Structure 1
Amino acid sequence: MPALRLLLAIALGLLVSACASLPDRVERVGSTALTDTEGTHLGQVLRPELAAHPGTSGIYPLGEAKDAFAARILLAQAAERSLDLQYYIWHGDTTGQLLWEAIWQAAERGVRVRLLLDDANTGGLDPILAALDAHPNIEVRLFNPFANRKFRLADLGDFSRLNRRMHNKSFTGDNQMAIVGGRNVGDEYYGADLNVGFQDLDVLAVGPVVREVSAEFDRYWNNESAYPLASLLGPAPKDGAKLLNENWQKVRQDPKAQRYADAVRQRPLVQQVAERRIAFEWTTAQVLSDDPDKVRFSPERKDLQLRPRLTEVFGNGRRELDLVSPYFVPGLGGADALEKMAARGVKVRVLTNSFQATDVAPVHAGYARYRKQLLESGVKLYELKPGSTDVTSKDEAGRSGGVPGSSGSGGSSSASLHAKTFAVDRSRIFVGSFNLDPRSALLNTEMGVLIDSPALAQRLSGHFDSLIPDYAYQVQLQPDSTRMEWIDRSPAGGETRYTSEPGIGLLQRLWINFLSILPIESML
């Protein structure tokens, strides 16, 4: 019966799709990042260090989930002139509401807020977004939006367009400080969900690279795929502010939210910020991103893509290439490139999710097609075990605060890898939103920061040397080279070998095998 209802809904959506269309004429008032912000509080605080490190950017990794949230809240609270926020997902949960309240309070202080969201995950949020947009200092734009706001299935006839999404993530205050990385906005990204936690990585950046983040934001904000919210929804409701305050009051009264906020306030990073002693690494860094027009033109338009830049940087490694990608579907071309690197003596290691840890089964099926081929060429594969919340949040000595990810919720029952980071020759590292899959390469837009940092790159490689083998299954060929095995090592020194993929029952295995033969790889 549920399947019948779904089919009827899809059929109805297709029938009415012709009735839903985006507005033909949209008034977009162009705007750019503010440049005269050296006199702001952030500018003054950073001035001595920027002067001491001319021409370089300061980078601070945000590996722990609560630190990543604290950094965003503190940046919103410190901003005096502008906040530019760009996200693929912004949930209306505890952390989402707290950040909305923080940017509203900033707007009340006179801060100009530009909020750019991909429209794929905004279902049900129109009243909240409209209320925010109604504030004279806040403007909301939706990237590549759905035309039908109440019945999104009505847009299925426009699937080829809506299948292209903006996956970028950045948070910039006063054009002085920016956060870039893999985290969206939602409880699972910031350690506020005890049931689901994503291991992830962002970097907090200051210096010249921040202006590059702002320039990237401006390109997307002023692009014709970014629609002012008012052009899609019409006049804002008069009681919008009341709705927002009611939501925020509920969060403040929620004991779970209170405990989370207390835990965030107790993070060492908060004290470090208050005492102005964040230990930035000063180095060269640059933003790499897709052109926003990528979503409107053929996936074959390489001049609009980030992928060739990443291939140029990381495909020429001489000694070592370490890849962390939660959604890893290399495709024939990617698998061939990794095989060629391994053939010329480059140590290639990949960490991705196991079936038990992934949140997208079709992606796992897409990845599984390439496992044996990659192993035969010498590529080393690791699959994160379910609940391995410490694999990327500790350094080699077992201390917290490592790279590339976080401990998710700090105790979640279902941890999943979400960090996207690559290191080459223990000298350069990329942190951003790009997955090694066809969707990131060809369909979605992505961004990240390429950092010349032996410290961060070596720390990631060090995790592969010492920590990851204990917290992830190592997949390798059995001695006869005809079958695979999964090695489960424990920090205590024990070892278990599986000759079939751990945690997958018969029906699940049949389902994965079925998905792997479907012609859907280009959408994964």
Structure 2
Amino acid sequence: MYFSRFHALMALAFSILVTGCASPYPHVEEDFQTDWQSQEYNAQVHLLPSAPEALARRIHLVRHAQHNIDLTYFSWDKDTVGLMLVDELVKAADRGVQVRIVLDDLLVFNEKWLAEADQNDNIQIKLFNPFGSRKMGWLGRAPNFMRHQQTLDHRLHEKYFNVDHHTMILGGRNIGDAYFGYSDSANFFDMDTLFKGDIITPFTDNYQALWDSEHVQPISTQIKVKMGAQYKTLTKALNKTKRKHPGVVMDIENNIRRLKPLDMIDVVATPVFDSLDKLNDQQPYFRSRAENTIKTELETAKQVTISTPYIVPSQKKFDVIEQLTEQGTEVSLFTNSSASNDSLFIPAYYKQHRQTLLDMGVDIHEYRDQAVNEDHFFHVDTYYHNKTLIVDDKLTYIGSSNFDPRSDFLNVEFGVFIQSEAFAKDVHHYLTKQQSTLYWYVTRDDQGKTTWESNAEMHSKDPNYGSWHKVPDWIFKKMDGEFEL
């Protein structure tokens, strides 16, 4: 397993083991951000209906870009998808398009292939909150993290794709084979939405503020490459992956050719942004602003669907879920099962949280570790990565936040609330169209024992989560590190 989240948590685990203590939750005033004012915008939206189309739309947009392309991602893998997209950006830059990329630095080591692209006069790449170590992998970074944990714990988790300030893609996907169904090892079940209209303006402003901030540094100051290298490392890696995966390359090109005109839905959208002040005070700007934005809708909700890959409480409590169930709201949760979770740590805590949520009356749907997504090129192990919220089938959240402690207090996040019954219907269908084969339905039997059911299959123990997990789970729980997850 090679996923970015996995590697990030491996680094985190090493650091926690070395420091031997968990970070405390910061104090948050009860009225924090209650005076923050949200603003509505007109927009047109299109839920990208499959993983291959999510990539095909991106490449198609790059190939037809005329003026500028702005991108932000938590991770960008050096694989077929990652290399092909960088190559497309280089070609766009060669014809005069101004390209700007901001990447979180957690998974960027000595990436010369990216630094070479930055040498193009029309491409600028910046790294968010860069580490002081580039070599020796995690062994080099762990001491760096230990010395500067309070600063380096903050990561940029936004996923943003803006072409010509005309078309924008937001969602849960980073850039890499695994996010578009093209990994022959394991893939993520994820979701993206394409936007047009006035909603793009506040996201453009948010990007510019990030670009101008002290928290991003040019990649050229961090990774050195020979001047005039003419993309030597990038070209070599791209040619190698094309030879190794010709079927993937062909499928990507075929999906681009098969793209149809977009069927857009007119909506009213409300963006919510984090604050870079979080890097100094660890306050939950995004979550507080988001909850205040939809406070009325939550208080009157009859049914809420919550989708998150990592179900982790803040300060040991599921405050919003508890509020909803106590007022009689029907709550459905879609998340990873213990076996499908790409995090090593969350399953250690989730066993207890599952019981708490069942006690509240939450309907739990856990993603199967061997679920087969119809749109994936390779049918291998899959992990749940969708992040959304649907309130009364008319208000939908799309964004980067998992609504977990790391998203609340450490990561920089953003999202948008969309008012539209038609769009909510599309999102609900996307999550549930393969419900009987993708998820376990988790309930309690007449004796109060937890059961997992999918089609005619039923289990009384955590499916495919063996006894060998007991020891590592015990170790991870002793770390008491949920604040970091």
Asked if the contact 1:351–1:381 (Cα under 8 Å) also holds between the matched residues in 2, the reply is yes
Q: What corresponds to 1:97 in structure 2? A: 83
> Which structure 2 residue ranges, 5 or more long, are not aligned?
1-9, 19-40
SS of residue paired to 1:450: strand
Residue of structure 2 in register with 1:25 after alignment: none
Q: Offset at 1:447?
A: 1.7
Count of residues paired in the alignment: 443
Cα deviation, residue 420, structure 1:
0.6
CA positional deviation for 1:333 = 6.2
Q: Percent identity?
A: 26
* CA deviation vs aligned residue, 1:250-294 (integer Å, no higher than 9, x gap): 33433x2x3122222333x74345xxx210111112322212332
Deviations 1:422-480 (A, max 9, x none): 11110011112111311111111112222112123234445777753553112222324
Query: Which residue of the partner structure matches residue 217 of structure 1?
Result: 207
Aligned partners of 2:371 and 2:437 also within 8 Å: no
The aligned counterpart of 1:132 is: 117
* Contact 1:327-1:364 within 8 A present in 2 as well: no
Structure 1 residues 83 and 514 mapped into 2: Cα distance closer, same or farther (>3 Å)?
A: same
Whether contact under 8 Å (1:131, 1:244) holds in the other structure is yes
Q: Distance in 2 between matches of 1:173 and 1:464?
A: 27
Aligned to 1:452: 419
Point out where structure 1 has 5 or more consecutive residues left out of the alignment.
1-5, 15-54, 394-406
Q: 1:152 aligned to 119, 141, 158, which one?
A: 141
Aligned-partner Cα distance in 1 for 2:316–2:474: 22
1:131 partner amino acid? E
Aligned match of 1:489 = 454
2:286 is equivalent to residue 305 of structure 1: yes
Paired position in structure 1 for 2:301? 318
Using a 3 Å threshold, how does the CA distance of structure 1 residues 152 and 336 change in structure 2: closer, same or farther? closer
Alignment of 1:250 with 2:240, yes or no, is yes
Residue in 2 aligned with 1:512?
473
The structural deviation recorded for 1:514 is 4.1
Deviation at 1:516, TM superposition (A): 3.1
Contact residue 47 and residue 427 of structure 2 kept, 8 A: no
Measured in 2, the distance between the counterparts of 1:177 and 1:434 equals: 21
Tell me how far 1:207 sits from its aligned partner: 0.8
Residue by residue over 1:55-96, the C-alpha shift from the partner in whole angstroms, topping out at 9 and shown as x without a partner, is 731111113111111111111111111010100000111000
Contact kept, 8 Å, 1:187 with 1:193, in 2: the verdict is yes
Which residue number in structure 1 is paired with residue 407 of structure 2?
440
Deviation at 1:382, TM superposition (A): 1.4
Contact between 2:388 and 2:399, CA under 8 Å: does it hold in 1?
yes
In structure 2, the CA distance between the partners of 1:465 and 1:72, relative to structure 1 (3 Å rule), is closer
Deviation at 1:519, TM superposition (A): 1.2
Checking the alignment, whether the CA contact within 8 Å between 2:333 and 2:363 is kept in structure 1 is yes
> Is the 8 Å Cα contact of residues 183 and 378 (structure 2) preserved in structure 1?
no
**1:349-498 to 2 correspondence within 5 Å?**
349-390=332-373, 407=375, 409-461=376-428, 467-481=434-448, 483-486=449-452, 488-490=453-455, 494-496=456-458, 498=459
SS class of match (1:292): coil
Residues 144 and 187 of structure 1: is their aligned pair in 2 closer, same or farther, counting only changes over 3 Å? same
Query: Shift of residue 133 of structure 1?
Result: 1.4
CA distance in 1 between partners of 2:183 and 2:477 (Å): 31
SS at match of 1:212: helix
Q: Which amino acid aligns with 2:218?
A: P
> Hey, what's the Cα distance between the residues in 1 that align with 2:60 and 2:430?
30
CA distance in 2, matches of 1:354, 1:191: 19
After superposing on structure 2, the runs of 4+ consecutive aligned residues of structure 1 that deviate more than 6 Å are: 463-466
Q: 1:339–1:378: 8 Å Cα contact kept in structure 2?
A: no
Distance 1:321 1:78 in 2: 39
- Which of 174, 177, 187 in structure 1 is aligned with 2:164? 174
Verify: 1:107 aligned to 2:113, yes or no.
no
Q: Quote the Cα distance in structure 2 between the aligned partners of 1:426 and 1:128.
A: 44
Amino acid of the structure 2 residue aligned with 1:385 = R
Tell me the distance in 2 between the aligned counterparts of 1:336 and 1:469: 30
| Cα deviation digits, residues 286-321 of structure 1 (max 9, x gap) | 322212332x2222x34x334441464263351111
Contact 2:116–2:225, Cα closer than 8 Å, also in 1: no
Q: Taking CA–CA contacts closer than 8 Å with sequence separation of 6 or more, which of the two structures ends up with the larger relative contact order?
A: 2
- For residue 82 of structure 2, give the secondary structure of its aligned residue in structure 1: helix
The answer as to whether partners of 2:49 and 2:430 remain within 8 angstroms in 1 is no
* Distance in structure 1 (CA, Å) of the matches to 2:125 and 2:437: 44
Secondary structure class of the residue paired with 1:435: coil
Structure-2 separation of matches of 1:140 and 1:441: 26
Which has more radius of gyration? 1
Once residues 431 and 363 of structure 2 are traced to their aligned partners in structure 1, the CA distance between those partners, rounded to angstroms, is 10
